Structure 1
């Protein structure tokens, strides 16, 4: 069962690697970094994936595509690892991974980074969402590069990050006050 889960993790890592190629080289996946059967490791080392989550996601792909909680968890964990390899600091890597998962699955699940994930979403989908995009699409690669560049600017200029988060928060509040969805 673990070998199958590792194959699934490598397949999805390669998909992420393809979509992020304009951002830099994330290298190969070291399965032991993300796949385990040990519940203690999952509790103590964040963003490890249970083999069962990978296998369950794979079973559901034909019917639900990537719009399932298991896929959200898989993409968040793998994209966080990818962002760290692209030299984003841990906090921004968490937000980048959560944002990647959000635009892949349509599920906003990673707690504590909602504003950053929303900003990621708005850069990636400026005119409406289509969650069934192709990892190897030139447009998708360009969008990820734009998002990644924004995250790097935040890392290099924390004041810009603070201003952008205030603007995102203010825009969301304004929409809510007007009875609209953000």
Structure 2
């Protein structure tokens, strides 16, 4: 067998292992999100087809599902291409023992997972994306560019209401699950009532005067 062919086979095997490892991590964290949102409803089983996680063909991750929260954001986003979700999952897991979830990779992993979870529970469009963005920020302490900043910031504010802003919280804490339930209900009410949304969210927007 030619050296080039041997190297290609090895790259394929290594790529396939990384992909399988990433899927296992995503499944584990999906179950964490699932439990944390249990008071809202059941988001169901993890399905890799919902994410830009790709499939391996030779040594390249080539597949992009048609529906993904990253499809409507800048191509410069760290999760725009499917290989970045895989890389974020692997990097997050590698740092987990030392850093916990307080990493930029964790932010983007949970933006993806929580956005899809929000969709499964009934949120749509920017409401689902902002919910996922808020969840990712509350989990990691970092700020994502996805979703609307007001909704994202209100998510974080509601999550840490009456508690110290520490990002070392546990998915299984009763207080966490109760807060997430209240936050989801608030997002759902904004989605279903435009007047309420304008009153509670849009009224908080700061309009900067135009310079002429």
CA distance in 2, matches of 1:40, 1:23: 32
Residue 123, structure 1, aligned to residue 141, structure 2: no
TM-aligned CA deviation for residue 39 of structure 1:
6.1
TM-score using structure 2 length = 0.74
- Match runs of 1:70-89 below 5 Å: 70-89=105-124
TM-aligned CA deviation for residue 44 of structure 1:
8.8
TM-aligned CA deviation for residue 50 of structure 1:
2.8
CA distance in 2, matches of 1:89, 1:43: 16
Give aligned pairs, total. Answer: 172
Q: Which runs of 5+ in 2 are unaligned?
A: 1-17, 56-60, 71-81
Alignment partner, residue 41 of structure 1: 64
Q: Which moved more, 1:149-158 or 1:36-45?
A: 36-45
TM-aligned CA deviation for residue 97 of structure 1:
0.3
Question: Quick check: which one's helix share is greater?
Answer: 1
TM-aligned CA deviation for residue 88 of structure 1:
0.6
CA contact (8 A) 1:8 1:54 kept: yes
- Match runs of 1:163-182 below 5 Å: 163-169=199-205
- Look up the SS of the partner of 1:88 in the other structure: coil
For CA contacts below 8 A with separation 6 or more, give which structure has more relative contact order. 1
Alignment partner, residue 57 of structure 1: 92
CA contact (8 A) 2:92 2:105 kept: yes
Alignment partner, residue 16 of structure 1: 33
Q: Which runs of 5+ in 1 are unaligned?
A: 174-182
Alignment partner, residue 153 of structure 1: 189
Post-superposition Cα deviations, 1:77-114, rounded to whole Å, max 9, x if no partner, equal: 00000000001112100000000001100111133411
Equivalent residue for 2:43, pick from 26, 30, 34: 26
Structure 1 pair 28/132, CA: closer, same or farther in 2 (3 Å)?
A: same
Q: Which moved more, 1:142-151 or 1:36-45?
A: 36-45
CA distance in 1, matches of 2:88, 2:203: 36
CA contact (8 A) 1:36 1:50 kept: no
